[in-house]
């Protein structure tokens, strides 16, 4: 039986790569200079490059369950997401950070108790979204949607605890953006600080919050 994944790799090298060879060469010679750090959920239905219409070298990507941001505690632990945030801000000097949640998120649903008993790391990781959960026993679609959006705002607030993020935000060199992608509609809702809520991209004045301040109170 042929290995489908192996065949896809061969098609990339033989068909897709030659069309972009010069661009990849430039990215090697000059290095990467992405302007956006995209923190998104690991869900396979969320495709950042497809969503934003970007290509190689334009997004610095971090994917994890729920699009969560671990707290900044100054420790030397194994925090892959935290390390990526530090690298993006301090080394790559990105000018935007996007936190992108989405509809029908299994990680958010798991906040209400749907976690495999053997998933010990997952149980601990989900605590990063616990504050977003609402006090209900059995969440319906509207509660889950609100929790997904509340979780995005929670991560934006946590990002402001990173000293390098706060410094660049306050210096107007970095802006934070919260997105909620509705998979079934192909629509992104962006968090508008002034309105205190998520609004469809079609009705938004910009791609998100702009410079985000932790004392802006969201109405969610």
| Whether residue 117 sits in one domain with residue 16 | no
Contact in structure between 38 and 14 (CB atoms under 8 Å): no
As a whole number of angstroms, the distance between CA 171 and CA 166 comes to 8
As a whole number of angstroms, the distance between CA 73 and CA 43 comes to 27
**For residue 118, what is the DSSP state?**
T
| Whether residue 121 sits in one domain with residue 23 | no
- 162 within domain boundaries: yes
Neighbours of 121 (CB within 10 A): 9
* Dihedral sign (CA 51, 56, 58, 63): positive
Domain residue limits at 75: 34-203
Contact in structure between 98 and 208 (CB atoms under 8 Å): yes
Residue-wise pLDDT for 8-64, tens only, equals 989 989 998 998 899 989 889 898 999 999 999 999 999 999 999 999 999 999 999
As a whole number of angstroms, the distance between CA 137 and CA 124 comes to 20
**CATH code, domain carrying 118:** 3.40.1050.10
| Whether residue 141 sits in one domain with residue 128 | yes
| Whether residue 114 sits in one domain with residue 23 | no
Mean pLDDT of 116-133: 94
pLDDT of residue 213: 46
| Whether residue 72 sits in one domain with residue 13 | no
| Whether residue 98 sits in one domain with residue 87 | yes
Residue-wise pLDDT for 153-162, tens only, equals 999 999 999 9
Contact in structure between 90 and 179 (CB atoms under 8 Å): no
- 70 within domain boundaries: yes
Q: Which helix (H) or strand (E) holds 182?
A: strand 175-182
CB-based contacts of 169: which residues, under 8 Å, 6+ apart? 160, 175, 176, 211, 212, 213
| Whether residue 135 sits in one domain with residue 51 | yes
Q: Which helix (H) or strand (E) holds 175?
A: strand 175-182
CA 205 to chain centre: 20
- 65 within domain boundaries: yes
Residue bearing tokens 């026993």:
137
List helix spans (H) across the chain.
4-11, 17-30, 48-52, 80-90, 106-110, 120-125, 141-159, 163-170
| Whether residue 182 sits in one domain with residue 73 | yes
- 52 within domain boundaries: yes
Q: Which helix (H) or strand (E) holds 189?
A: strand 187-192
| Whether residue 16 sits in one domain with residue 38 | no
Q: How many domains does the chain have?
A: 2
| Whether residue 2 sits in one domain with residue 75 | no
Q: Which tokens sit at 204?
A: 């938004």
Residue-wise pLDDT for 58-105, tens only, equals 999 999 999 999 999 877 677 899 999 999 999 999 999 999 999 999
């Amino acid at each position: 039986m042929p290995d489908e994944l192996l065949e896809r790799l061969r098609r990339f090298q033989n068909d897709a790569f030659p069309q972009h060879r010069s661009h990849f060469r430039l990215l090697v010679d000059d290095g990467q200079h992405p302007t956006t750090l995209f923190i998104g959920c690991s869900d396979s239905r969320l495709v950042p490059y497809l969503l934003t219409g970007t290509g190689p070298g334009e997004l610095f990507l971090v994917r994890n369950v729920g699009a969560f941001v671990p707290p900044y505690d100054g420790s030397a632990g194994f925090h892959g997401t935290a390390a990526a945030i530090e690298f993006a801000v301090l080394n790559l000097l990105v000018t935007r950070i996007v936190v992108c949640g989405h509809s029908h998120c299994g990680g958010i649903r798991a906040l209400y108790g749907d976690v495999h008993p053997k998933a010990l790391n997952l149980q601990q990781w989900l605590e990063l979204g616990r504050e977003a959960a609402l006090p209900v026993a059995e969440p319906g679609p509207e509660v889950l949607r609100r929790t997904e959006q509340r979780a995005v705002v929670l991560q934006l607030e946590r990002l402001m605890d990173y000293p390098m993020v706060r410094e660049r935000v306050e210096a107007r060199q970095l802006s934070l953006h919260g997105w909620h992608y509705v998979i079934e509609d192909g629509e992104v809702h962006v968090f508008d600080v002034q309105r205190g809520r998520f609004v469809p991209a079609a009705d938004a004045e910009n791609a998100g919050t702009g410079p985000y301040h932790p004392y802006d109170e969201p109405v969610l």
